[in-house]
A and B are shown apart, each in its own frame.
Chain A
Amino acid sequence: GAGVSQSPRYKVTKRGQDVALRCDPISGHVSLYWYRQALGQGPEFLTYFNYEAQQDKSGLPNDRFSAERPEGSISTLTIQRTEQRDSAMYRCASSLAPGNTIYFGEGSWLTVV
């Protein structure tokens, strides 16, 4: 597509529920990134893929967080047993190749109540 597309844009979930956030990168972009952004802060790196391979997941806060990109295009970030502290804006980004400029989507705003 023309830009990075994320869904849902807004998600309210009850504590303890699992959520899945979807990202559709720019067509042809090899690299895909997940970031988390708190209000007034810059995006915080979570994980990164090259094609379908997850190259680095060092930024995932704990083992409740996981991500996949099975066919090297669309990616899903899953948060299991959500907690209130997981409430944040989750942003996906993609780049044509590793190390190139990354382009962000509009984000998925998660609220855990």
Chain B
Amino acid sequence: GESVGLHLPTLSVQEGDNSIINCAYSNSASDYFIWYKQESGKGPQFIIDIRSNMDKRQGQRVTVLLNKTVKHLSLQIAATQPGDSAVYFCAENRSGGFKTIFGAGTRLFVKA
């Protein structure tokens, strides 16, 4: 079946360090990718997106990298802060499609 990010790994980082969260996607037809942050008790919140005609996109403290050759997506968070602690989901969408497919997520813990 369709799948993005098959498990829920945990990443623990020290406050101030950079975080890298990885995601593998399965469908080579996907051309739009999104990262969401979900804090406890809240809905997923959009962080950053990237289309398949790009391999890197930067936002405020966040960078998304896309490697279409190996179908890999990563989210880099610079100078990680305690407020970054959450579950991060990668999601994919296909050209002209509407069904955004989510992975199981990665839980990020930030140690003070």
| Chain A residues near B (Cβ < 8 Å) | 4, 31, 33, 35, 40-45, 48, 50, 55-56, 59, 91, 93, 98-99, 101-107
* Cross-chain contact B93 with A45 (CB below 8 angstroms): no
Contacts of A31 in B (CB 8 A): 98
Contacts of B97 in A (CB 8 A): 98-99
* Segment among B11-19, B38-46, B55-63, B64-72 that sits at the interface with chain A: B38-46
A–B complex contacts, Cβ < 8 Å, 13 sampled:
A33-B98, A33-B100, A42-B91, A42-B104, A43-B89, A45-B99, A48-B98, A48-B99, A56-B99, A98-B96, A99-B98, A102-B46, A103-B46
Nearest-CB distance from B25 to chain A (Å)? 12
Indicate with 1 or 0, residue by residue over B1-41, a CB within 8 angstroms of chain A CB atoms. Answer: 00011001000000000000000000000001010100000
| Chain B residues near A (Cβ < 8 Å) | 4-5, 8, 32, 34, 36, 42-46, 49, 89, 91, 93, 95-105
Contacts of B101 in A (CB 8 A): 45
Identity of the chain A residue whose Cβ is nearest the Cβ of B42 in the assembled complex: A106
* Cross-chain contact A40 with B104 (CB below 8 angstroms): yes
Number of A-B contacts (CB under 8 A): 59
Identity of the chain A residue whose Cβ is nearest the Cβ of B2 in the assembled complex: A45
Contacts of B45 in A (CB 8 A): 104
Identity of the chain B residue whose Cβ is nearest the Cβ of A106 in the assembled complex: B43
Contacts of A93 in B (CB 8 A): 43
Identity of the chain A residue whose Cβ is nearest the Cβ of B5 in the assembled complex: A42
* Cross-chain contact B5 with A99 (CB below 8 angstroms): no
Which of A42, A48, A101, A104 is within 8 Å of B49, CB to CB?
A101
* Cross-chain contact B99 with A107 (CB below 8 angstroms): no
Contacts of B103 in A (CB 8 A): 42
Contacts of A98 in B (CB 8 A): 96-98
| Bound-state Cα–Cα, A103 to B36, Å | 10
